[in-house]
């Protein structure tokens, strides 16, 4: 195909999914990298004195088509991948890594940026322009611009290897998730499983041309089985299979990759003058340093652990009374937690699910966005998508202006990785007086409709949908001049505030009444269920908090110390998790080798940010609660000061502008039922 026929090399607004062939990607990347190099050359060859406009702004708007094609390609590699796309990713990632280094290690370009940066105190700049200047300068200084030539070459080789290793890590996890099947032919082995979960398992088996039922490691299959199946032996089998992903002695083993990534990141940080990878990363975070992160996590652990221990003892005693289980194992956790929750609150997911039809929950999220921010979501069918499951919406503001395109992709399939995430196909910016609006996507993995039932969500899935939609709103309501400061382009420990605060509405009767209606009768969710949802919100919160802290500490063990002498992944993991250990270790299992957030994902040295952002979100929602959860004035302030501003100013400045004060941890401790420890 000639370049003139390649849809990725044409001007487009909406991503032209149906026109793209896999074969288009590599040529497009090759051409667009060259085009962007030419744009860079135009900047460096400019004979005028370096200025904010001819250097910083010019650099900001370089390579926009390349960025868009990259976002389309890597989103497909997460949501609709195949062997061919994975191979292209292996070819393209080193190219992009090398090109990124070509920019940050371009001395002529750096000297122009530095010339502008050195004048910053005399320039008349807006707050956003000042942030952009600082960010552009740091993108060079933090990525090797001040290194000698031989060290620059070493940095290039490290970055190239890391890009390939991260891809391989993710591919191995996906391959392991897809390959495992627990084929059940005896209906007694499904005892305890709700009927719709049995039907879903039968559909999976049918899709693979097998009789009986099939349980897989995809979340909508795995989690209900662990929660409801009475057969402890099968729960054990499934849990061990999940925990053993990429830890077996086969082609998908990630142990060596983990060690190489951790050591490569450490070497890179040292090369740039930082003590560890975490020191490098956290310099550009609200927390500021590994010491502050560790203090934060350990302080929270001190508060949560007594509660967690008490909850664990209660759970273990309950399992012993119920089934004579002497010692709880990891495969007992979800099962007995659900049983105990049902006993204490007479509330289980099966009672709630009929009230949480997926389409209604989506409309519920839209309604909250309408009440708070005046947004209208109009479903449309004329927007190109990459899969038949993907729904599309046009988003309008109060003035009936189109402010975003929203893609919603909610069901699992073989080419889609587990989990839930927000992403974008087009960023927001203001250029030449035109406000280009963003194209935002939410991707989740909720149970597909069956022949007899629509897609019904657990309450946990409802909060997941609201969480990702909160990220989506951060993207949709973006309103900045520069694309690299727009939407979710904020400090990593601030990015979870919009998503986590949005979950809070799920626990409010006023909100649930909008959408929690029985899928058959239309009856609004009974008040007693709402009361129990609220009452059970902090159920086993101590254990959940310790679990999150453990993952934060595991992340810091890989990235906040010198990993040079670590040769055994499991050994390092056990050491890191010693203080947070609740359940006995399982020899066949290891978390690090499938910990996608911190190895291929962007959360290295940043997993703590979930708990960090909880302090922010609890404090922020307290403000709404004090003034009405649908208070349009506070909603407008949140949109104006948080959602629309992206990374244009330091997040604490933005937060204080919204809240009038710095966040206080008391709201989180109170919400989590841990506040008594502070008395």
Q: Show Cβ contacts of residue 64 under 8 Å, excluding neighbours closer than 6 positions.
A: 483
CA 458 to chain centroid: 20
Q: Check: CB of residue 558 under 8 Å from CB of residue 607.
A: no
Q: Which residue has the tokens 């999220």?
A: 365
Angstrom distance (rounded) from CA 639 to CA 395? 15
Angstrom distance (rounded) from CA 336 to CA 332? 6
Q: How, if at all, do strands 434-436 and 429-431 pair?
A: antiparallel
Closest of 108, 91, 114, 110 to residue 33, by C-alpha: 91
Angstrom distance (rounded) from CA 173 to CA 489? 27
Stated pTM of the model:
0.84
| Helical packing angle, 569-576 and 255-271, nearest 10° | 70
DSSP-assigned letter for residue 674: -
Q: Show Cβ contacts of residue 595 under 8 Å, excluding neighbours closer than 6 positions.
A: 551, 554, 555
End-to-end Cα, the chain, rounded Å: 71
Task: Name the 3-class secondary structure at 453.
Answer: coil
Q: Check: CB of residue 529 under 8 Å from CB of residue 501.
A: no
Q: Check: CB of residue 624 under 8 Å from CB of residue 455.
A: no
Q: Sketch out the chain's domains with CATH numbers.
A: 3-146 (1.20.1050.40), 180-243 (no CATH), 360-539+629-648 (1.10.1370.40)
Q: Which residue has the tokens 């199946």?
A: 229
Angstrom distance (rounded) from CA 145 to CA 110? 7
Q: Which residue has the tokens 């006995």?
A: 584
Identify the segments of the chain with pLDDT beneath 50: 1, 677-679
Q: Show Cβ contacts of residue 56 under 8 Å, excluding neighbours closer than 6 positions.
A: 113, 116, 129, 132, 133, 136
Tokens of 127: 């707050």
- Give the pLDDT confidence score for residue 678 in this predicted structure: 40
Tally: H helices and E strands in the chain: 26, 9
Angstrom distance (rounded) from CA 671 to CA 183? 41
Tokens of 561: 């110390």
Backbone angles phi, psi at 431, to 5 degrees: -140, 135
Integer CA distances (angstroms), 498 to 107, 476, 541, 575, 618, in order? 38, 12, 21, 34, 11
Angstrom distance (rounded) from CA 332 to CA 582? 12
What is the CB neighbour count within 10 angstroms for residue 335?
22
Angstrom distance (rounded) from CA 362 to CA 652? 31
Longest dimension (CA), the chain: 82
Tokens of 390: 């993907």
The vertex-557 CA angle with 297 and 603, nearest 5°, equals: 75
CA torsion angle 542 548 549 555 (round to 10): 170
Tally the C-alpha atoms within 13 A of residue 320's C-alpha that lie toward its C-beta. Answer: 9
Q: What is the DSSP string of 91-128?
A: HHHHHHHHHHHHHHT-HHHHHHHHHHHTTTTTS---HH
Angstrom distance (rounded) from CA 195 to CA 330? 25
Q: Which residue has the tokens 């500021």?
A: 288
Q: Which residues are catalytic?
A: 468
Angstrom distance (rounded) from CA 26 to CA 452? 44
DSSP-assigned letter for residue 387: S
Q: What is the 3-state secondary structure (H, E, C) of 68-83?
A: HHHHHHHHHHHHCCCH
Angstrom distance (rounded) from CA 461 to CA 356? 9
Q: Which residue has the tokens 């089985």?
A: 225
Angstrom distance (rounded) from CA 475 to CA 156? 32
DSSP-assigned letter for residue 562: -
Q: How, if at all, do strands 429-431 and 402-409 pair?
A: unpaired
Q: Check: CB of residue 290 under 8 Å from CB of residue 556.
A: yes
Angstrom distance (rounded) from CA 200 to CA 456? 12
- Give the pLDDT confidence score for residue 347 in this predicted structure: 84
CA torsion angle 116 655 436 8 (round to 10): 80
Tally the C-alpha atoms within 13 A of residue 633's C-alpha that lie toward its C-beta. Answer: 6
Q: How many residues does the chain have?
A: 679
Angstrom distance (rounded) from CA 287 to CA 608? 10
Closest of 533, 516, 475, 523 to residue 365, by C-alpha: 516
Q: Check: CB of residue 459 under 8 Å from CB of residue 352.
A: yes
Task: Name the 3-class secondary structure at 545.
Answer: helix
Question: What are the tens digits of pLDDT across the range 33-88?
Answer: 999 999 999 999 999 999 999 999 999 999 999 999 999 999 999 999 999 999 99
Q: Check: CB of residue 456 under 8 Å from CB of residue 358.
A: yes
Question: What are the tens digits of pLDDT across the range 39-50?
Answer: 999 999 999 999
Angstrom distance (rounded) from CA 293 to CA 305? 18
| Helical packing angle, 358-373 and 459-476, nearest 10° | 40
């Amino acid at each position: 195909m000639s370049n003139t026929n390649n849809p990725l090399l044409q001007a487009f607004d909406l991503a032209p999914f149906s026109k793209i062939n896999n074969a288009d990607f590599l040529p497009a990347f090759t051409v667009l990298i060259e085009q962007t190099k030419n744009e860079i050359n135009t900047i460096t060859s400019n004979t005028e004195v370096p200025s904010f406009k001819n250097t910083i702004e010019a650099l900001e708007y370089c390579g926009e088509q390349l960025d868009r094609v990259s976002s389309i390609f890597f989103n497909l590699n997460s949501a609709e991948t195949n062997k061919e796309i994975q191979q292209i990713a292996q070819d393209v990632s080193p190219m992009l890594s090398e090109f990124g280094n070509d920019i940050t290690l371009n001395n002529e370009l750096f000297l122009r940026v530095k010339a502008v940066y050195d004048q910053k105190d005399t320039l008349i700049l807006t707050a956003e322009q000042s942030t952009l200047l600082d960010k552009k300068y740091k993108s060079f200084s933090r990525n090797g611009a001040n290194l000698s030539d031989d060290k620059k070459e070493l940095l290039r080789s490290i970055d190239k290897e890391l890009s390939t290793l991260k891809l391989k890590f993710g591919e191995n996890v996906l391959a392991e998730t897809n390959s495992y099947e627990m084929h059940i032919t005896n209906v007694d082995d499904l005892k305890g499983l709700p009927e719709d979960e049995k039907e879903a398992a039968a559909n999976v088996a049918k899709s693979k041309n097998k009789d009986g039922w099939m349980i897989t490691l995809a979340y909508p299959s795995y989690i209900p089985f662990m929660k409801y199946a009475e057969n402890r032996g099968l729960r054990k089998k499934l849990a061990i299979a999940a925990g053993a992903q990429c830890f077996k002695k086969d082609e998908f083993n990630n142990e060596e990759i983990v060690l190489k990534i951790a050591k490569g990141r450490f070497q890179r940080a040292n090369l740039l003058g930082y003590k560890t990878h975490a020191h490098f990363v956290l310099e550009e975070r609200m927390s500021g340093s590994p010491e502050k992160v560790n203090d934060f996590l350990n302080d929270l652990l001190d508060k949560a652990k007594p509660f967690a221990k008490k909850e664990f003892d209660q759970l273990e005693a309950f399992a012993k009374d119920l089934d004579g289980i002497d010692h709880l194992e990891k495969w007992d956790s979800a099962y007995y937690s659900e049983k105990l929750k049902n006993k204490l609150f007479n509330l289980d997911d099966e009672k709630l699910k009929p009230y949480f039809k997926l389409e209604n929950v989506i409309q519920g999220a839209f309604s909250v966005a309408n009440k708070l921010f005046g947004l209208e979501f109009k479903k449309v069918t004329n927007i190109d998508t990459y899969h038949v499951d993907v729904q599309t919406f046009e988003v309008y503001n109060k003035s009936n202006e189109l402010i975003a395109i929203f893609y919603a992709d909610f069901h699992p399939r073989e080419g889609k990785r587990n989990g839930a995430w927000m992403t974008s196909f087009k960023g927001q910016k203001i250029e030449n007086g035109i406000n280009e609006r963003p194209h935002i996507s939410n991707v989740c993995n909720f149970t597909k409709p069956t022949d007899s039932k629509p897609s019904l969500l657990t309450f946990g899935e409802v909060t997941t949908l609201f969480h990702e939609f909160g990220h989506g709103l951060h993207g949709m309501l973006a309103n900045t001049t520069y694309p690299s400061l727009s939407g979710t382009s904020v400090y990593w420990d601030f990015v979870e505030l919009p998503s986590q605060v949005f979950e809070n509405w799920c626990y409010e009767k006023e909100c649930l009444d909008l959408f929690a209606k029985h899928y058959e009768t239309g009856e609004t969710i009974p008040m007693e269920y709402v009361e129990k949802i609220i009452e059970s919100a902090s159920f086993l919160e101590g254990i959940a908090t310790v679990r999150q802290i453990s993952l934060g500490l595991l992340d810091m063990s890989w990235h906040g110390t010198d990993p040079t002498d670590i040769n055994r992944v499991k050994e390092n993991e056990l050491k890191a998790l010693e203080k947070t250990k609740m359940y006995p270790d399982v020899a066949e299992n290891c978390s690090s080798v499938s910990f996608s957030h911190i190895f291929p994902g962007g959360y290295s040295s940043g997993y703590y940010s979930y708990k960090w952002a909880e302090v922010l979100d609890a404090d922020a929602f307290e403000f709404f609660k004090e003034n009405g959860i649908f208070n349009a004035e506070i909603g407008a302030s949140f949109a104006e000061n948080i959602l629309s501003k992206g990374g244009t100013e330091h997040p604490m400045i933005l937060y204080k502008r919204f809240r009038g004060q710095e966040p206080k941890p008391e709201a989180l401790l109170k919400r989590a039922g841990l506040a008594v420890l502070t008395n």
